[in-house]
Chain A
Amino acid sequence: MRALIAAAVGLAAAFALVLTVTALARPSGGTSPEPLLTTVPAHP
């Protein structure tokens, strides 16, 4: 019984970690102020 509980705790912790990490959406920020280029850039 105690082994089952230990396994369940491990499983729940794995789910909790992965769900938390995936739910934390990274803010994408705003649109870049850089223009659509109409001149040839000197370098990347």
Chain B
Amino acid sequence: MRRKAGLVLLALAVFFAALSPLLRWYAFPRLAKIPANHYQHMVLEARDATLLDYATMRAKQVPKVTVVQTLKGNVEASERIEESAGRDVVVWDGLSYVVGPDGRMVSKIPERYIFDAHTQQPVHATGEMVDGDPVRREGIEFKWPFLTEKRDYAYFDAQARVTAPIHYKGTRDFRGLEVYYFEQTIPWTKVPIPRTLPVEGLSAEAVEKTGTTRWYTTVRKFWVEPLTGAPVYGEEIHREELRGGTLLGDRDRVTAFAGHVKMREDYTAHTVDLVTSQRLPILLLTSWLPWGSLALGLLLLALALYLEARARRRPGSAATKAEDPSPVTA
């Protein structure tokens, strides 16, 4: 009986010991994925910003400019791409909609971002675009991979349509969460004029014909929770200028937008709560279950060995009985 118990314990010990690396290195990379139907919106605000008044073509101070950013997982498009890509793909249709202090649209830039649901690596397929222009992204955008590392990443800038390093600048505490702080600087770069402008009848082509060009620079800051790879807070020191051309008259440049854009407080609190809850399943699969399973496996193995040793030593045990010759009586 004791031998049978020892064998059961040994089987359980091997089960739990094997489960540990299998969970961490096989199950986690396959189970951790961004759902294809993910939907989220985010509001960012720039207080006391500078904004171009298209009626006068002069920059003016405004109390607030609001950026509404929506990301919507397109399940049908992701399934189509998955058939040819042969891996789990997420397609995010995004819209950055900028609203002035009067509630009117300042700009709207749609984009489509296609990436691997597990690794966050970009996937290139027809339809990948920013503001209708086909692009070929390298690096990440919006979100970091699961288990973010303390290193620089390549980050895609949708305005400039370029990928540039976003630098890891240290580990911080953000409202009780340990986060990695990243920062990217895009120097003054000539960027396309948005297809939708706030003045009716004024098109990007018409502006381009005047010889006026749009330039942009930004310092992008992200506080990223490393287990989920989700930014819990973001800021951008953003400047845009129109330069040259007949549209500006005798001026060589005019500020189109300048402001320190920050996540709105209610969205920050909501994101921190959301990410805090999303950390748990990742912690389970990467830490608690593997380590717990390994410890349990070792404990059960020790118990199995102990039972086996006792069974061998005990004179009355089944093993001893089998080996002892029966006394012969006359």
Task: Please tell me if the beta carbons of A22 and B31 are within 8 angstroms of each other in the complex.
Answer: yes
Quick one: which of A12-34 are within 8 Å of B by CB? 13-15, 17-18, 21-22, 26, 28-32, 34
Instruction: Check if B11 is an interface residue, CB within 8 A of chain A.
Output: yes
Write out the residue numbers on chain A whose beta carbons fall within 8 Å of the beta carbon of B15.
10-11, 13-14
Is there an interface contact between B76 and A31, defined as CB atoms closer than 8 Å? Answer: yes
Q: Which of B16, B75, B94 makes the CB contact (< 8 A) with A29?
A: B75
- Whether the Cβ atoms of A37 and B70 lie closer than 8 Å is yes
- Please state if A39 and B68 are interface contacts (CB–CB under 8 Å): yes
Query: Which residue of B30, B73, B267 contacts A31 across the interface (Cβ within 8 Å)?
Result: B73
Contact of B19 among A6, A14, A30 (CB under 8 A): A14
Map CB proximity to A onto B7-19 as digits: 1 under 8 Å, 0 otherwise.
1101111111011
Across the interface, name the chain A residue whose C-beta is closest to B31.
A22
Question: CB-CB < 8 A to B103: which residues of A?
Answer: 40
A-side contacts of B18, CB under 8 Å:
10-11, 14-15
Q: Which residues of A contact B66 (CB under 8 A)?
A: 40
- Residues on A close to B: CB < 8 A? 2-3, 6-7, 9-11, 13-15, 17-18, 21-22, 26, 28-32, 34-41, 43-44
Q: B residues within 8 Å of A by Cβ?
A: 7-8, 10-16, 18-19, 22-23, 26-27, 30-31, 35-37, 39, 41, 43, 66, 68, 70, 72-76, 78, 93-95, 97, 99, 103, 105, 108, 110, 266-267, 270-271
Which 8 residue pairs across A and B have the least CB separation, nearest first?
Answer: A10-B14, A44-B270, A14-B18, A32-B39, A36-B95, A10-B15, A10-B11, A28-B36
